[in-house]
Amino acid sequence: MEIYLASANPDEIRKAYALPIAGVLTNSSIIKKENRNFHELVEEIDQIGDLPFGLQIAATEEPKMLEETRLFHSLLHNRTLHLKIPYCPDAFKVIDQLKDNDMILNLTGVSTLSQALLALESGIDYLSIYVGRVTDAGGDGVQLLKEIKTYADYHEKPTRIVAASIRSREHLEEVALAGADAAAIPFPLLLETMESPVTDQSVNGFKKDWDQVDLGGKA
């Protein structure tokens, strides 16, 4: 399962680059948290490595959606644009126009199986399921992802299913077992995935024992 960092914080991105992540994904809410000029922020992030960087269209009408796409594309020179497209009727017009461009297309905001059926016919590269938000609304986000993934596999759809809106390590483990192809997680959760008292105890024990090994040369 690919792991994407959900962040627009340059320091977090630099640190995450030491880990095997597939790229960085953002949305307007994540961007807003940085409280910086958008152009300057994206240009700084563009200088950090070369993994795909995701920016999400906020508009829902075709002309404005294409305008935002052109802006995003113009700001990235070292990375592939991972374009996040909100689920709406005009999204499919935009997808048709951008399919052959040098960018990754990700349809986001899917919250029902019926939405996914149509989305999977569009040939989109990635399809993002807001697992946490679906669950918050009274549904079962993990089960929804599992159903969509099962359907996509059965019909041999190439679209990769992304688990977004992940709230905890347990949540991440659940979507992994449900078959998610990718997950977008915040930096604190990314660090948390590596933590375990059992692991710490084992590693510290090995270090302690190693310190007591005679490393002298052959007598």
- Token look-up 């759809």 returns 157
d(CA 183, CA 173): 10
Task: List, in sequence order, every beta strand (DSSP E) within 87-198.
Answer: 103-110, 126-130, 160-164, 182-185
Q: Which of 84, 146, 149, 157 is catalytic?
A: 84
Q: Using alpha carbons only, what angle is made at residue 119 by residues 113 and 125, rounded to the nearest 5 degrees?
A: 120
Sign of CA dihedral 110, 113, 114, 119: positive
d(CA 42, CA 120): 30
Q: Report the chain's terminal Cα–Cα distance, integer Å.
A: 50
In the residue annotation, 146 being an active-site residue is answered as no
Query: Which residues are the active-site residues?
Result: 84
